[in-house]
Amino acid sequence: MTVGIVGLGLIGGSLGLALQSTKLVSKVLGYDHNLTNCEDALELKLINEIVSFNEIKKCDIIFLAIPVEAIIQTLGSLEGIDKNTTIVDLGSTKGEIIKSIPSSIRSNFVAAHPMTGTEKFGPHAAFKTLYQDKIVVFCDTKDSSDFHKDRAIQIFSHIGMKIVFMDGEAHDRHASFISHLPHAISYALANSVIGQEDPKRILLLAAGGFESMSRLAKSSPTMWSEIFKQNRKNLLTSLELFEKELSTCKEMIKDEKWSELENWMGDATTLHKIL
């Protein structure tokens, strides 16, 4: 089958590399509104060929590897595609995207979120094993035809992903805690240091802990501000709960309740027994 990828950054580019090594795919075509991304994707051999958006619409399966707001804007342009063309979005939110799918192509559509990525972005960040042994969440597949759902399952399985099925609203609630909240915290931590009188001097002391927690703040602000916008309600809830825990920590330190603080920290360590 021929595959069309819209968006040739980390997610789309890595997918192109992974798909080229499978026997399911005869050709991987790419499209990106950024001409530099197109040139880089060809040079890096992330895809086989750059084509127009109209040519992408003729592919057997189309992946939308673009920011979540752009996915919504693109959906209307896909009306009228062949009934056998599968559309898969790779956005980090699902609720607003699913609501925006035109009814005429709803059966063609598979809402998917590969739970993978790095803080880097752009074609040069792409690598072949990004998807290997990771989870991809399929949402609200009851409204996708079995043909398109099965094709998407086959593709993701062949690049080494484990598939989980979930309600779109549940996905967005869960993602607000395990993905979106950590990014918000990382940006806040980075800005807390940048706001000091001499941030360079502070960073001389930076070790593994700060590096780990601030890493996500390197992520694309354009992409993540759109994710925060689409998942606003759930993210606010997770932020409020985080603020409550942070306030609890602050009060125990302020009141010198060291034994209670240690117990509070101990409760937190049990999370990794689940992981």
**Model pLDDT, residue 211:** 79
The share of the chain scoring above pLDDT 90, in percent, equals: 84
Residue intervals in the chain for CATH 1.10.3660.10: 171-274
Q: Quote the CA–CA distance of 254 and 19 in Å, as a whole number.
A: 55
Q: Is the dihedral of CA 205, 207, 212, 217 positive or negative?
A: positive
Q: pLDDT digit string (tens) for 60-90?
A: 999 999 999 999 999 999 999 999 999 999 9
pLDDT at 208 over 70: no
**Model pLDDT, residue 114:** 96
**Model pLDDT, residue 53:** 96
Residue intervals in the chain for CATH 3.40.50.720: 2-166
Q: For all residues of the chain together, what is the average pLDDT?
A: 93
pLDDT at 212 over 90: no
Split at pLDDT 50, 70, 90, the class of 199 is: low
Rounded mean pLDDT, 105-111 = 97
pLDDT at 106 over 90: yes
**Model pLDDT, residue 182:** 95
Rounded mean pLDDT, 172-181 = 95
**The CATH classification of domain 171-274, taken from the options 1.10.3660.10, 3.40.50.720, 2.70.150.10, 3.90.1200.10:** 1.10.3660.10
pLDDT at 118 over 90: no
Split at pLDDT 50, 70, 90, the class of 92 is: very high
Rounded mean pLDDT, 208-226 = 86
The share of the chain scoring above pLDDT 70, in percent, equals: 96
**Model pLDDT, residue 172:** 96
**The CATH classification of domain 2-166, taken from the options 3.40.50.2300, 3.40.50.300, 3.40.50.720, 3.40.50.620:** 3.40.50.720
User: How far does CA 144 lie from the centroid of its chain?
Assistant: 21
The sheet with strand 162-166 has its strands ordered as 49-50, 27-31, 2-6, 61-64, 86-89, 109-114, 135-139, 162-166
**Model pLDDT, residue 28:** 97
CB-count burial class (<10 Å; 0-12, 13-18, 19+) for 220: middle
**Model pLDDT, residue 204:** 64
Evaluate whether 101 touches 41 at the Cβ level (below 8 Å). Answer: no
Per-residue HEC secondary structure of the chain comes to CEEEEECCCHHHHHHHHHHHCCCCCCEEEEECCCHHHHHHHHHCCCCCEECCHHHHCCCCEEEECCCHHHHHHHHHHHCCCCCCCEEEECCCCCHHHHHCCCHHHHHHEEEEEECCCCCCCCHHHCCCCCCCCCEEEEECHHHCCHHHHHHHHHHHHHCCCEEEEECHHHHHHHHHHHHHHHHHHHHHHHHHHHCCCCHHHHHCCCCHHHHHHHHHHHCCHHHHHHHHHHCHHHHHHHHHHHHHHHHHHHHHHHCCCHHHHHHHHHHHHCHHHHC
Rounded mean pLDDT, 14-27 = 94
